[in-house]
Amino acid sequence: MIDINELTEICNRLNCKVIAEADLSDYTTFKIGGACRALIDVCSAESTAELLRYTVKNNIKYAVIGRGSNIIASDNGFDGIILHFGSAFSDISVNDTSITAQAGAMLSAVCRKAQESGLSGMENLFGIPGTVGGALYMNAGAYGSEMKDIAVSAEYIDENGDINTISSDDMDLSYRHSIFAEKDCIITSVTMNLKKGNPDSIKSAMNECMQKRASKQPLEYASAGSTFKRPKGSYASLLIEQCGLKGLSVGGAEVSTKHSGFVINKGGATCADVLELCEKVRTVVNEKTGYILELEPVILK
């Protein structure tokens, strides 16, 4: 049972904003989902740690989200507390060729900061629609680059509410995977090591990357990005297209006709629509090709 008044008092002391019954469709890029019991804009690793200890002590369900770009939120909402990593927790600092960002910083903002500082290595990550914490959590990547290529360390909160640091060697980073997902840890900041470069050349490469995204991906529609993980030996989008599933729809959800690896919200889609469509795609692809597609976004329920 969540005592909103008590939670509000705690958040006021920690300088964190709390919103009761926040609509998750406002906090996810898919624009889908019901209300959570409370959403808290955290502002520091210390406030996050204290709030985590509070949820554990009171047996309250919780989840952490950044921009919500890799989440499909339930139509029934979330019966617990959302710890939201947003603009209140998004500082970025540069030290020579090293750049450190709080977990709520948008990955694109970190890329721009690197470019302004003449630091190269993040160009292909520009345009990934998420926070730096979420990007490391899932080892986000694009066009041959991944977070594992640049991350050197991270600060995180363990299941006991203690703040720790970890080196990249111990993060077990692989395709869309990290140790943080296995151990129920909360990333609070990420330090990346880049190389000196020419700011104009870096900006040009970033613009080229963004143009490539815009030409190939359905950025004009709400979505959670790539809907399925890349199966070993093939590509989800290729398999889906080969099976003639482009344009397949359920309610307001549709397999994009622009990029078959994306399930999009054409307008008014529900979580139920998206999951039913995804299951239809998985079934047909499995029947026709033998491949089993795995969802990339997390289902928040």
| Catalytic residue set | 176, 226, 296
DSSP code for 29: T
Q: Look at residue 57 and give its three-state secondary structure.
A: helix
H/E element, 87: none
Asked if 12 contacts 51 with a C-beta cutoff of 8 angstroms, the reply is no
Of 201, 44, 32, residue with least CA distance to 119: 201
What is the DSSP secondary structure assignment for residue 253, as one 8-state letter? Answer: E
- Length of the chain in terms of residues written: 301
Taking the C-alpha atoms of residue 103 and residue 217, their distance in angstroms, rounded to an integer, is 26
* Residue appearing with tokens 């969802």: 295
